[in-house]
Structure 1
Amino acid sequence: MYLRNIYKIKTQIKWFNTRQVVNNNELGSIDNQTYVIVIQCHSNIYLLQQLLSSLRRAFFINTALIIFSHDHYSYKMNQLIKTVNFAKYMQIFYPYSMQLHPNAFPGAEPKSCIEGFPCVKADYRDPEAAQSKHHWWWQANQIFDHLRVLKNYTQPILFLEENNYVTEDVLVVYRLLIYTRDIHCPFCEMISLAAHDPDLPRYRRRRTVVAMEVWKNSMPRTAIAFDRKIWHNIKIWKEMFCYYNDSNWDQSLKHVGAEKWDGNIYLTAIDGPRVFRVEECDPKDAGCKLQNKVEDVKKFIKVIKKQLYPLSIKIKVTAEEDFNYTASGYWTDVRDHELCMQFANGSVWY
């Protein structure tokens, strides 16, 4: 019965990925004026619901295309996404998920080097962490190089995650950052809407500051945007990304920048973040409730509401700080290297 369910899911995934259906086309065509937003989804329906609730209120969202990139097939999540009527959207599914490979690579193998089993010739492998890096790399390859609807799209693409929450002016500020980057920082490879922590005094003091700065190790990976030109520069060094012994896609990307892009990846970032990350609770922490974490973000946004929609900006260029980071490991399995390279070398939809 379980194998039959996996087969059904694989069939559905193949249908979604090969058809590439765009929903809500009545909202307009897709061109370089369209905001393209990718949401990397796992299995937390509640958090995705909160993100969609915040996106629904975003100014200009009716001109956007939202691409939901899943690594878990869920009927309930699909039903939630069907309620999206405020933007064009489509769904794609990572075809090598743990859900589809519960007892074999790239999932958790009973005899592989995972927690609880002795490892002799390899380091501990975390299948969930590996999936996160594989999924991000797969979706970037597919979206920039193999998604039909975006074959002529040249603007930056914004990458979010299901545990994000946005302000209503997120796309206004995003467009402002694109314009500012193009004029004042053409060497900045990426745009960030969440490079800094949501500290209230800092927010009020520096809410109109746009910084040209290094993507430092302390900064989050949330709400990063870049275009196809930058993507092709990344893919040139695909071996460096795929073989770097770190299961975090963002640290692997920073490593490429440190080695091949004059020592750093540079951001054009807003000091007052427009995208917030909802910290998920530790299952062992009985006193932590996810709903409270979401409410904390909502309260913060309510307090800063009058500081949204900047009428002017100040540009700040920070001193250079080279990327200095020790790889976190968990990425020594040669099969992870090969799968990563497979995604870079060709279209993989199923």
Structure 2
Amino acid sequence: MIVLVNVSKEKAKATRCINAEYPDMYGHYRESKFTQLKHHWFWKMNFVFDEFAPSHNGYVLFLEEDYYASSDLIHFMKLMIQLKYNACKKCDVLTLGAYLKNSYHHKIGNNVYKEVFKAKHNMGFAFERNVWLKIKSCAKQFCEYDDYNYDLSFVYISLQCINPYLMTMSVAAPRVFHIGECGFHQKSIGCNKLYETVLL
């Protein structure tokens, strides 16, 4: 397999790239090491709902290995589920994380918001099988959307394929924190500062 990165469309055709007609919006061709992240996310959802727990219709909470969960995460999620059924029936996704550095838990600790699902809602989210079925019905659009990131592709299908688009109930004060600021997408000095802040 030939991996093409920054080549012209003509060179891509000359090397018989099967995707020569379809570079991304910047004229680049997809690299498997990046694209696999997005497709692994979709595989993971499929595995959990269709293989691992095919009869489970309740919520599934997705946490990544570089997340730190608060001690009241499960309790607060249960409260959100009750609120969803009583006051936010159109909320498809529960978002328990946020990228806030300072969330002032003592002032806004129990507040939640109803919002259109956006990429910022990709941390510590949970949804039921009925939402997975909506996502799965848009598999082609998800896989073919011109982006490497699952969260941007997820937002795309929510707005372009799922009708009505996905709504989330998100926390004002996060119960899930991202402690791996350095990693696949970002490499910088001092990337463990958030981790130190969360644990103090």
TM category (shorter chain) comes to 0.7 to 0.9
The AA in structure 2 aligned to 1:112 is: V
Aligned residue runs from structure 1 range 7-156, under 5 A: 104=1, 111-114=2-5, 118-120=7-9, 121=20, 122=23, 123-147=28-52, 150-156=53-59
**Counterpart position of 2:126:** 225
TM-score by length of structure 2 reads: 0.81
- Residues 207 and 271, structure 1, Cα contact 8 Å, conserved in 2: yes
Distance 2:7 2:143 in 1: 25
Give the equivalent residue in structure 1 for 2:140: 239
Q: Which runs of 5+ in 1 are unaligned?
A: 1-103, 105-110, 300-350
- Correspondent of 2:111 among 209, 219, 227: 209
Q: Is the 8 A contact 2:49 2:132 kept in 1?
A: yes
Distance 1:195 1:266, change over 3 A: farther
Q: C-alpha displacement at 1:198, in angstroms? A: 3.9
For residue 188 of structure 1, report the CA deviation from its aligned partner.
Answer: 0.9
Alpha-carbon spacing, 1:198–1:265, altered in 2? closer, same or farther (3 Å): farther
Structure 2: gaps spanning 5 or more residues: 10-19
Match of 1:197 in 2: 100
In structure 1, the residue matched to 2:85 is 182
Is the alpha carbon distance of 1:155 and 1:198 closer, same or farther for their aligned partners in structure 2, counting shifts above 3 Å? Answer: farther
Sequence identity (%): 27
For 2:33, give the aligned amino acid.
Answer: E
State the AA in 2 paired with 1:211: Y
Secondary structure of 2:198 counterpart: helix
Residues 127-157 of structure 1: CA deviation (Å, up to 9, x unaligned): 332111011100111111112xx23211110
Partner deviation per Cα, 1:281-307 (whole Å, 9 max, x = no partner)? 655x4x4253x44212212xxxxxxxx
Kindly state the Cα deviation for residue 210 of structure 1 after the two structures are TM-superposed: 1.7
**C-alpha displacement of 1:195:** 3.9
How far, CA to CA, are the matches of 1:164 and 1:177 in structure 2? 20
1:180 Cα deviation from its structure 2 partner: 1.0
TM-score for both structures, normalised by structure 1: 0.48
**Aligned counterpart, 2:161:** 260
1:165 maps onto 2:68 in alignment? yes
Q: Which one has more relative contact order, counting CA pairs under 8 Å at least 6 apart?
A: 2
What SS class does the counterpart of residue 63 from structure 2 fall into? strand
Equivalent residue pairs, number: 181
For the Cα contact (< 8 Å) 1:177–1:270, is it kept in 2?
no
| Superposition CA RMSD, Å | 2.1
Name which of 179, 182, 195 aligns with 1:280: 182
